Amino acid sequence: MSGFPEFDYRNNELFVESVSLKQIAREFGTPCYVYSRAALTKAYQAFDAAFANREHLICYAVKANSNIAILNLFARLGSGFDIVSGGELQRVIKAGGDPGKTVFSGVGKHVDEMRMALNANILCFNVESEAELIVLNQIAKDMGKIAPVSLRVNPDVDAKTHPYISTGLKENKFGVPASVAERIYQSTQQYPHIRFTGLDCHIGSQLTELEPFLQASHKMLNLLETLQSQGLSIEHLDLGGGLGIRYTDETPPSIKDYVSALCAGTRTVKQRLLIEPGRSLVGNSGILLTRVEYLKHTSARDFAIVDAAMNDLMRPALYDAYHAILPVQQNASEARNYQVVGPVCETGDFLGHDRKLSLNDGDFLAVMSAGAYGMSMSSNYNTRPRAAEIMVDHDQIHIIRQRETIDQLMADERVLPQ
């Protein structure tokens, strides 16, 4: 057992659904990302089913993995989207997603992005400051439109996660304090081109406990009740994303328990509930497949130098994040304690430290839980073309993004004329 659904061993060889990862590596080359359609579908359906009869909209957070095949898959399942740029909006539209089910988050929306989103008639702008609200009101006025808005409230709760992905503390750059939100909602006449339709929060990512979510939703509920008592009509309550996944020994709540707790905590709310899950929909539905280039044994360490690097999967270098690394072919010979590193010229270029593996040159490894914030955070550092992406559906293999070429990387560069 690998411990990762849809990625499992058959006769000591790692498969995704009914396809051998060795076959994918040989046919399409490495490094490449491999996703399971069944895993993606099951994760979405777990969210959807847990809402039971509650009116709801799941807005997949596009930044976790923005490949249009993945967006299209979720759109077909009925998903909405949470975007953080105009580029992500264009991806949603290209993938057949519904702008009318799309919310637009982010502290620094550019006026061009606001115009694009107003033209597309998105569901809602999650506005993160008064300054942004003033600009949005003006843009909507110029376009003869009314902009639907949720204020993103910063509920000041500790998400107890990595500081880089904690967003709901008052010292973070995100959202406005509840007191400011209350004052803005009381002065809606100052914003004639804004329609205040919702209330929103998002406290961070990779949360492994329910408590911070419940604290935040409690604070949102209080604010909602205050606003309603003042006669404001709110159409939806958006509780953000952030549910964690298991990378190694974390024990995050299940999707079902998480949604049930949110529903229970907001029992008295008549409005539609929105959530913005990213990682928990895609994280454990994808892996990064890589090949061992060289084994290097020094007096201090044993290194497995692989063909994937920090430009392909940035999370270990950026957050010191842990990803399980599994051999595609299990073998019984003696294991060593490997530093699994990439070819990039930085000591921070590692995929895993101190991994007990039995390896030979040319072996393939699967870096697990790489479906979220993997490809979407990748770069071309060291002029490395970005990896191919593959989606497996039962016994079918679909290439959903070709490997980049070096020519593509240099296509827009120019030398000086003299």
Ligand X SMILES: *Cc1c(COP(=O)(O)O)cnc(C)c1O
Binding residues: 242, 276-279, 315, 319, 346, 373
Q: Min. distance of Cβ 417 from ligand X in angstroms?
A: 43
Q: Catalytic: 345?
A: yes
Site for ligand X in 266-305 (CB under 6 A): 276-280
Instruction: Check if the beta carbon of residue 315 is closer than 8 Å to that of residue 245.
Output: no
The residues that bridge with 290 in the sheet, in sequence order, are 365
Q: Which pair of structure tokens corresponds to residue 8?
A: 């499992």
d(Cα 94, Cα 71) in Å, to the nearest integer?
A: 9
Cβ distance to ligand X smaller for residue 118 or 275: 275
d(Cα 150, Cα 104) in Å, to the nearest integer?
A: 10
Contact residues for 143 (Cβ-Cβ < 8 A; gap 6+) = 115, 118, 119
Query: Which strands sit side by side in the sheet containing 13-16, from one edge to the other?
Result: 7-10, 13-16, 19-20
> Which residue's C-beta sits nearest to ligand X?
278
| By CB under 6 A, residue 64 contacts ligand X | yes
| By CB under 6 A, residue 101 contacts ligand X | no
| By CB under 6 A, residue 198 contacts ligand X | no
| By CB under 6 A, residue 240 contacts ligand X | yes
Mark the binding-site residues for pyridoxal 5'-phosphate, compressed into ranges.
Answer: 242, 276-279, 373
| By CB under 6 A, residue 155 contacts ligand X | no
| By CB under 6 A, residue 175 contacts ligand X | no
| By CB under 6 A, residue 40 contacts ligand X | no
Q: Min. distance of Cβ 308 from ligand X in angstroms?
A: 22
Q: Min. distance of Cβ 61 from ligand X in angstroms?
A: 3
| By CB under 6 A, residue 242 contacts ligand X | yes
| By CB under 6 A, residue 88 contacts ligand X | no
Letter string b/e over residues 125-141, b meaning 16 or more CB atoms within 10 A of that residue's CB: bbbbbbebbebbbebbe
| By CB under 6 A, residue 265 contacts ligand X | no
Please count the other Cβ atoms lying within 10 Å of the Cβ belonging to residue 230.
10
Q: Min. distance of Cβ 125 from ligand X in angstroms?
A: 12
Cβ distance to ligand X smaller for residue 162 or 195: 162
Cβ distance to ligand X smaller for residue 107 or 397: 107
Please count the other Cβ atoms lying within 10 Å of the Cβ belonging to residue 40.
26
| By CB under 6 A, residue 86 contacts ligand X | no
d(Cα 367, Cα 399) in Å, to the nearest integer?
A: 19
Instruction: Check if the beta carbon of residue 341 is closer than 8 Å to that of residue 351.
Output: yes
| By CB under 6 A, residue 82 contacts ligand X | yes
Cβ distance to ligand X smaller for residue 208 or 228: 208
Instruction: Check if the beta carbon of residue 237 is closer than 8 Å to that of residue 276.
Output: no
Phi, psi of 79 (to 5 degrees): -70, 150
Contact residues for 260 (Cβ-Cβ < 8 A; gap 6+) = 50
Q: Min. distance of Cβ 213 from ligand X in angstroms?
A: 11
Mark the binding-site residues for substrate, compressed into ranges.
Answer: 279, 315, 319, 346, 373
Please count the other Cβ atoms lying within 10 Å of the Cβ belonging to residue 229.
8
Closest alpha carbon to 311 in 361, 264, 350 = 350
| By CB under 6 A, residue 168 contacts ligand X | no
d(Cα 372, Cα 361) in Å, to the nearest integer?
A: 28
Given the residues 124, 201, 263, 345, the one annotated as active site: 345
Cβ distance to ligand X smaller for residue 84 or 289: 84
| By CB under 6 A, residue 62 contacts ligand X | no
Q: Which of 34, 40, 61, 340 binds ligand X (CB under 6 A)?
A: 61
Q: Which pair of structure tokens corresponds to residue 44?
A: 């979405």
Placement of tokens 């961070």 in the chain = 204
| By CB under 6 A, residue 386 contacts ligand X | no
| By CB under 6 A, residue 80 contacts ligand X | no
- The H helix count followed by the E strand count for the chain is 12, 20
Q: Which of 205, 217, 290, 339 binds ligand X (CB under 6 A)?
A: 205
Number of residues that bind ligand X (CB under 6 A): 17
Cβ distance to ligand X smaller for residue 105 or 290: 105
Residue 358 Ramachandran class (φ > 0 left, ψ -120 to 50 alpha, else beta): beta
Cβ distance to ligand X smaller for residue 128 or 363: 128
| By CB under 6 A, residue 212 contacts ligand X | no
Residues belonging to the active site: 345
Q: Which residues bind ligand X (CB under 6 A)?
A: 61, 63-64, 82, 84, 105, 202, 205, 240-243, 276-280
